[in-house]
Amino acid sequence: MTHVIITGGSSGIGLALAHIYAARGARLSLLARSLPALEAVQAELARDHRETSIHIESADVTDEDQTFAAIRRCEDAFGPCAILITSAGIVEPGRFEALSSAAFNRQIRTNLLGSVHAVRAVYAAMKERRSGRIMLVSSGAGLIGIYGYTAYCASKFALHGFADALRSEAKPHGVSVSVCFPPDTETPQFSRELEHRPLEATVIMGRVAPWSSATVALRIARAIDKGQFEVFFGWTLWALGRFGSAVKPVLNWWFDRGIRRIGGGGERP
């Protein structure tokens, strides 16, 4: 049976993907920081998908040694990783000058290096077997800069670059690398993010309803099946991904116009 490893598998898109692969009868390994959350998810998946084998590992993906050790235990339990999905991520909005160095660095370490650590743990063996699929979860914020998201955008843009370069290295060895750019998605993290999202970001991003995590996860799983490299959601993100150099100036003009209308992004009384 296919062994699927999902980082950030205890909630949101990662959990929705776990349900999809559990329904397919895959062997599932889920990584997240919170052991109680993982145990709850393990029970949920076992209840909903009785034939699925589920392994859980509490690990902080920002710690390379922890990540390596956790993935080794996953492979000891269920065999070599056939599909790796790096869904672990955090977002902490805030204007650059108000965002602490700790908060900025935490997003870079989690969103970029956390994915790199997980990939490094499985990549050599995938190359040796000449098989394996890797899906990196970026964001729509990995396609265009957004007011109040300097750290998050930096981490997600970098993840796109990492995927682009790794794809060309991996393809001759039979390893498929993909990257996806989800829009705002209904997750526990999204609810927390909205509490801290600057007004300017709310204005320029509009009031578009978030996608459901199940819908996003289904599109990701289908892209993995097809070996699709880039996965976009909605026409705006597709246009940014395909025609970014032409589309960005127009969007940036629109964003700047919206920010000026509410006071130019400066200090408000």
Catalytic residue list = 138, 152, 156
Contacts of 87 (CB under 8 A, 6+ apart): 6, 7, 8, 9, 12, 13, 14, 17, 137
CA dihedral sign of residues 79, 80, 85, 89:
positive
State the helix-helix crossing angle for 213-226 and 12-23, rounded to 10 degrees. 60
Q: How many residues does the chain have?
A: 269
Residue 166 structure tokens: 């790794």
Residue 93 structure tokens: 């909005």
- State which amino acid sits at residue 22: A
Inter-residue contact 27 to 45 (CB < 8 Å): no
| Phi, then psi, of 70 in degrees rounded to 5 | -65, -45
